[in-house]
Amino acid sequence: MLQISNLKAGYGRLNALRGIDLSVKKSEIVFIVGPNGAGKSTLLKVVSGLMKPWSGEIRFENEVINGQPPERLCREGLVLVPEGRSIFSSLTVEENLALGGMGRRDKDVLEADLDTVLNTFPILRERIKGVAGHLSGGEQQQLAIARAILQQPALIMIDEPSLGLAPLMIDEVYASLKALNERTGMTLLIVEQSTARILKLADRVNVLRNGEIVLSKHKSEIGDPALLEEAYFGYV
């Protein structure tokens, strides 16, 4: 579904991505983990069209998408949930969710999807008429993910879904994402700083360090989680 080859990108003279190769197959849950400043957010920005790559190739559903604007990629089914709060804070939860479903014509299915999303993130149902800016950081994160799901993307990219969430909430969000993936086959590319939790969910884990993928393993190949830690901290 997504194939990235020798992708390079950066800011001014700073080389943030130094030749990334990465692929995501349909219905997989793929993680990119790495320490602060590794280039994780930059990679998602480039793939989602928010930032132009210097060189290399990005293919989505077999079409080269380098340099295409984010709105177009969004329409084609590639949606980014950026790091932090990306909701409209002065609108209500309901209005934010409505924006997610705006481009859809299948209003009946949309109703059912909305119901599913609200079952997945029950706090959003409780706060449906409330102003989104009054939600906690973690609740806003759930709203951002829920809104993206309603766009029915083929591939949803999420930048640090655990950011600012209490441990129990992280487990819940991940359980919801896993259930969504199992039910709908939605493909997920998720960026995380920590390797904790991800092994239960991941079909593939990529460790990004200093703008390079230093390890990429299918779940069947990760016998010992220490392997990931070693790649993460640079011992391999």
**Token pair for 151:** 């766009």
CB closer to ligand ATP, 20 vs 156: 20
Query: Which residues fall within 8 angstroms of residue 152, CB to CB, at 6 or more apart?
Result: 77, 104, 113
Judged by CB under 6 A, the stretch of 40-48, 53-61, 91-99, 104-112 that binds ligand ATP is: 40-48
Give the Cα separation of 181 and 10 in Å (integer).
Answer: 32
By CB under 6 A, name the one of 13, 14, 63, 223 that touches ligand ATP: 14
Would you call 105 helix, strand, or coil by DSSP? coil
Considering the complex, what minimum distance in angstroms separates the CB of residue 99 from ligand ATP? 25
> Is position 16 an interface residue for ligand ATP (rule: CB under 6 A)?
yes
Q: How far apart are CA 141 and CA 139, in angstroms?
A: 5
Closer residue to ligand ATP (CB): 46 or 186:
46
Output 34 or 101, the one with its CB closest to ligand ATP: 34
Report d(CA 19, CA 55) in Å as an integer: 9
Touching ligand ATP, residues 125-144 (CB under 6 A): none
Q: Is 225 in the site for ligand ATP (CB under 6 A)?
A: no
Helix (H) or strand (E) segment spanning residue 116 = helix 107-120
**Chain-centroid distance, C-alpha 108:** 27
Query: By CB under 6 A, what part of segment 154-193 binds ligand ATP?
Result: 193
CB atoms within 10 A of CB 222: 16
User: Residues in contact with ligand ATP, total (CB under 6 A)?
Assistant: 12
Contacting residues toward ligand ATP, per CB under 6 A: 11, 14, 16, 34, 36-42, 193
